[in-house]
A = this chain, B = another copy of it.
Amino acid sequence: MKHRSAPKSVTLRDIAAALGISRTTVSNAFNRPDQLSPELRDRVMAMAKAMNYPGPNPMGRMLRTGETGTIGLVFSESLSYAFSDPVAIAFLQGVASVCERAQASLLIVPTFMPGVVQASVGEAAQATIRQAAVDGFILYSQPFNNESIDQVMERKLPIVAVDCPYLKGVSSVKIDDRQAAYEAAAHLIRFQHQYIAILCTELGTDQYEGPVDRQRMEQADYANALERLRGYHDALQEAGFDLNQIPIEERLNREDHGFLATLHLLQQHPRPTGILAMTDRLAVGAIRAAETLGLHVPSDVSIVGFDDIPLASQVNPRLTTIRQPAVEKGRLAAELLLHYTGKTICHVLPTELVVRESTGPAPIINSETE
């Protein structure tokens, strides 16, 4: 893309000169048609076309006005992942719909360098964030202590943080993950499930997959995941469960990973009769795993998801889950940024337990001794 369409591109000045008028007038012809006579405007536009003028250079304009008409969006993790995650996409849809109405462009800023050592990831993020020509940033689902956040903060532009750890003086949009997860767990508990397992999304940025212990929880990077885990624990503890007996499997948020993790969980003794999946994607994998083992959902295993993605109601059996307003999150974040006042505003959006067919009463277990 080093290409340059002409050796020396034509500018406002050139067309002004060609017409023997001032640059202002040409500028006005493009930006304020009402500021000059229609005939003159027509002449200007005709000359522009004749000279192959590509219109006022946006960089010049931005530098001059100090505004870009653009919102920057920073995801954690890789964009390939973000654009395969139904929740992130719903969020994006919300952001985009507001941008569209406001005629604002949306700049997706990559901060993740695929196949690069951890150390230089920061450098990469630094460069793209520093060079983003935007009027403000939306930060989506960032882990604790990561360089993208710092980098964005340094830009001293308006910021709205979505599903992020608390940032001083930054407006935010989120849900109460802990409370929502509590509801999910309480739902299973109400059905008398005695053996409950947890399917957990990534807690750290280290690509670890496997069981989660106390220590791992304490070192968690992702506030969301941790909060959901805590919500599950709150409910379980309250109901008298021994938390040490509750298996937790941490996996990448993908159906196939949920599938494998559940295969593993369902072969434990005692076999869980209830599974708390931290996302619907994991839950969908879990349903498939149960099927694969010849277990019926919900009569052998109950599964409850989280998010209420479209797939949740298309799968069979349809998934009991926690609905969170992902599109609305995006809309609100964009609106907050577009109408930025400098005031720090925190929105906590409501969630809702949606009961469908993937959960039911615990089966009667034969040997209570096991």
Interface check A339, CB cutoff 8 A: yes
Provide the bound-state CA to CA distance between A41 and B130, in Å.
17
Interface check A104, CB cutoff 8 A: yes
Stretch at the interface among A88-96, A176-184, A240-248, A360-368: A88-96
Provide the bound-state CA to CA distance between A305 and B7, in Å.
49
Tell whether, in the assembled complex, residue B68 and residue A59 are in contact, meaning their CB atoms are under 8 Å apart. Answer: yes
* Interface residues in A, total, Cβ within 8 A: 72
Provide the bound-state CA to CA distance between A252 and B88, in Å.
24
Provide the bound-state CA to CA distance between A109 and B8, in Å.
27
Interface check A87, CB cutoff 8 A: no
Contact A133:B84 (CB < 8 A) given known A109-B105, A342-B3: no
Provide the bound-state CA to CA distance between A56 and B129, in Å.
11
Question: What's the number of copies of this chain in the assembled complex?
Answer: 2
Least Cβ distance of A94 to chain B in Å? 9
Contact A100:B80 (CB < 8 A) given known A58-B130, A341-B3: yes
Query: Per a CB cutoff under 8 Å, which of B78, B107, B156 touches A70?
Result: B107
Tell whether, in the assembled complex, residue B78 and residue A100 are in contact, meaning their CB atoms are under 8 Å apart. Answer: yes
Tell whether, in the assembled complex, residue A103 and residue B124 are in contact, meaning their CB atoms are under 8 Å apart. Answer: yes
10 contacts between A and B (CB under 8 A): A9-B156, A54-B154, A62-B62, A63-B63, A69-B131, A79-B96, A79-B97, A79-B100, A83-B92, A89-B89
